[in-house]
């Protein structure tokens, strides 16, 4: 097959891609500003605060990041609603569907087993659907994270208001939960998510799909055969075939993607180094 015949299929529409762009920007902002405070006595934290001028600027940026987060959390429900309307399923049927549903199901449990076998060379590559189990975990990690970090964050943002309803001593707990859940989120996204999605050799150095929105038909067949089969079966394959992504978008994908990856991995390295030093140093 020659290059001219490469067929592209859409995986993420513009709305989804813009949402993820918002996630990247807000998450990096929240992580950088929040971690600078959490590890305030480290020189790198001082450098971050110094770059922005003052811890008060960090606080303002952190709150802007929070507002963006609440924003994309709300708007992604619209995305789910749109996707549900495109399918001909009931809402519950849509979200628990084996191939396109977001909710983990038995098929995912089976695929975990198959994946481990595949990893150790005891089986073939599992025939994943539109969402693999680790992608579903990423999704629910963010879903859960926004809820937990968001709620505790609101308590810390409006302490005098919330203490009208809860004791001030609970803010100590809120601080711990907010901070450690954030450490989990940051650590997870900047290591596990980055590896699973971009850094693992098959995708190295970057999977641009979240920026360009499309994958080749070959990729789709290889990586998500059940989704491909579903599209063929439902006769919707032609609907998702799109043009080759424009060069500018590809360039943007690499520039922005690498920048985000660099910042994220840099930060997670500093955090890991600091924790390692504190634990064993």
β-partners of residue 215 are 9
Cα–Cα distance, 64 to 99 (Å, whole number): 36
Q: What is the DSSP string of 225-255?
A: HHHHHHHHHHT-HHHHEEPPPPHHHHHHHHH
- Does position 147 bind another protein by CB under 8 A? no
Classify residue 213 as left (phi > 0), alpha (psi -120 to 50) or beta. left
Q: Assess contact for 4 and 232: CB atoms under 8 A.
A: no
- Does position 113 bind another protein by CB under 8 A? no
- Please name the residues in contact with 98: beta carbons below 8 A apart, sequence gap of 6 or more: 105, 107, 129, 226
Task: Name the token pair of 167.
Answer: 């004791």
Site stretch for another protein (CB under 8 A), options 7-15, 162-170, 233-241, 248-256: 162-170
- Does position 176 bind another protein by CB under 8 A? yes
Site stretch for another protein (CB under 8 A), options 24-32, 64-72, 81-89, 191-199: 191-199
Cα–Cα distance, 115 to 174 (Å, whole number): 38
- Does position 254 bind another protein by CB under 8 A? no
Q: Tell which one of 10, 22, 87, 196 touches another protein (CB under 8 A).
A: 196
Q: Tell which one of 1, 14, 67, 106 touches another protein (CB under 8 A).
A: 1
- Does position 78 bind another protein by CB under 8 A? no
- Does position 72 bind another protein by CB under 8 A? no
Cα–Cα distance, 77 to 102 (Å, whole number): 12
- Does position 85 bind another protein by CB under 8 A? no
Q: Given the complex with another protein, which of 183 and 249 has the nearer CB atom? A: 183
Chain contacts with another protein (rule: CB under 8 A)? 1, 36-38, 40-41, 45-46, 49-50, 52-58, 116, 118-121, 125, 134, 156, 159-161, 163-164, 166-169, 171-173, 175-177, 180-181, 183-184, 187-188, 191-192, 195-196, 200-202, 204
């Amino acid at each position: 097959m020659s290059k001219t015949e490469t067929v592209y299929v859409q995986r993420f529409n513009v709305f989804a891609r813009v949402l993820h762009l918002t996630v990247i920007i807000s998450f990096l902002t929240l992580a950088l500003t929040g971690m600078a405070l959490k590890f305030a006595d480290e020189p790198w934290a001082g450098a971050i605060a110094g770059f922005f001028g003052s811890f008060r600027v960090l606080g303002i940026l952190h709150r802007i990041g929070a507002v963006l987060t609440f924003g994309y959390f709300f708007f992604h429900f619209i995305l789910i609603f749109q996707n549900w309307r495109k399918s001909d399923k009931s809402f519950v049927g849509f979200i628990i569907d084996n191939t396109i549903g977001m909710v983990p199901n038995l098929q995912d449990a089976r695929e975990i087993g198959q994946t481990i076998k595949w990893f150790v060379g005891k089986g073939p590559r599992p025939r994943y659907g539109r969402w693999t189990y680790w992608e579903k975990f990423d999704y629910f990690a963010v879903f859960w994270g926004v809820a937990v970090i968001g709620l505790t964050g609101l308590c810390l943002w409006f302490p005098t208001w919330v203490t009208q309803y809860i004791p001030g001593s609970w803010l100590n707990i809120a601080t711990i939960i907010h901070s450690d859940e954030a450490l989990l989120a940051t650590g997870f996204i900047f290591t596990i998510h980055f590896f699973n999605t971009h850094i693992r050799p098959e995708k190295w150095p970057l999977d641009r799909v979240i920026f360009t929105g499309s994958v080749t038909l070959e990729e789709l067949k290889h990586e998500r055969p059940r989704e491909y089969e579903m599209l063929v079966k439902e006769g919707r394959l032609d609907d998702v075939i799109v043009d080759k992504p424009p060069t500018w978008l590809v360039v943007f994908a690499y520039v922005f993607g690498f920048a985000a990856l660099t910042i994220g991995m840099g930060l997670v390295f500093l955090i890991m180094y600091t924790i390692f030093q504190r634990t064993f140093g």
